[in-house]
Amino acid sequence: MKTCEDVALKEQLLYLLELQTIDTRVKELDAARRTLPTRTEPLRRDLAKLDGMLGGERQKLAETETWKKQQADMLVAEQEALRSAKSKLQGSKTGKEYNAASREVDNKKKSIHDREVELKKVTEALSSGGTVIGERDDAVAQLREQLATEEAQIAIKVEELAVQIAEASTGREALRAKIDKPWLKTYDTLAGKRGYAVSPVIAGTCQGCQMRIPPQLNNILARMESLEMCPRCGRIIYRKEMIEPAPPAAT
């Protein structure tokens, strides 16, 4: 009778450990799968920043473009005013009229000259601004390409990991079906809370929390009659030497 229970209990423990091995592996793979896409985050942040800067520069350039157009329009109006001042000068009948028209012509000439200087400056600024933006555009395009390459590589790795997860999970449900329901529930709760649920006891110490378990409990574990839990960390415990044979002595 006792032997029969022994076997049943050992079997349950082995199932639990097997399940834990699967779950640990799946958890590792899943963590890798989830962190992989975050690797491109710095690059994506850089790109967003550059895009923002470029957007600002483009807007400034557009504003300068508008300003240039206004200046050009004003130049046309001033040239028109110069023409009419000149014809006034030609038609002046008195010295007073002549002087006034002459002053107007000079004024118009001066403002046309100033406008032209301004326009030249603005045209140069627009040209160099355009060149800078063009260079930055190229840099951004390169970064974008790099990001796309990295993301494609990551996507492949993520897919590979998904396959590995599926492979690692093979037989998991069948295994769970073999474990007693209450223990399975305990296992799931502990795995969720503690990371893993089953811990060996080596030389009287729970390896899950490094607590020395009471000698009485250690004796109970040696009998292999019941599944027990660590009084401190709550994990399902077993004596390592009862389940796993000692490694063969070195020859």
Angle at 90 (CA atoms; ends 85, 91), nearest 5 degrees: 95
- Which of the stretches 79-87, 115-123, 205-213, 239-247 binds Zn ion when contact is defined by CB under 5 A? 205-213
Q: Which residue has the tokens 């209990």?
A: 9
The pair of three-digit structure tokens given for residue 200, joined into one six-digit string:
């060996």
Cβ 230 to Zn ion, closest distance in Å?
A: 3
How many secondary structure helices (H) and strands (E) does the chain include?
7, 4
Which residue from 208, 224, 227, 239 is in contact with Zn ion, where contact means CB under 5 A?
208
| Contacts to Zn ion from residues 86-145, by CB under 5 A | none
- Interatomic CA distance for residues 120 and 116, integer angstroms: 6
Minimum CB distance to Zn ion smaller for 108 or for 218: 218
| Contacts to Zn ion from residues 140-179, by CB under 5 A | none
Cβ atoms of 163 and 26 closer than 8 Å: no
- Which of the stretches 105-113, 117-125, 141-149, 223-231 binds Zn ion when contact is defined by CB under 5 A? 223-231
Q: Which residues contact 137 (CB under 8 A, 6 or more apart)?
A: 54
- Interatomic CA distance for residues 219 and 216, integer angstroms: 5
| Contacts to Zn ion from residues 228-247, by CB under 5 A | 230, 232-233
- Interatomic CA distance for residues 91 and 95, integer angstroms: 11
Cβ 232 to Zn ion, closest distance in Å?
A: 5
Minimum CB distance to Zn ion smaller for 143 or for 242: 242
Q: Is 201 in the site for Zn ion (CB under 5 A)?
A: no
Which residue from 14, 154, 175, 209 is in contact with Zn ion, where contact means CB under 5 A?
209
Residues near Zn ion (CB under 5 A)? 206, 208-209, 230, 232-233
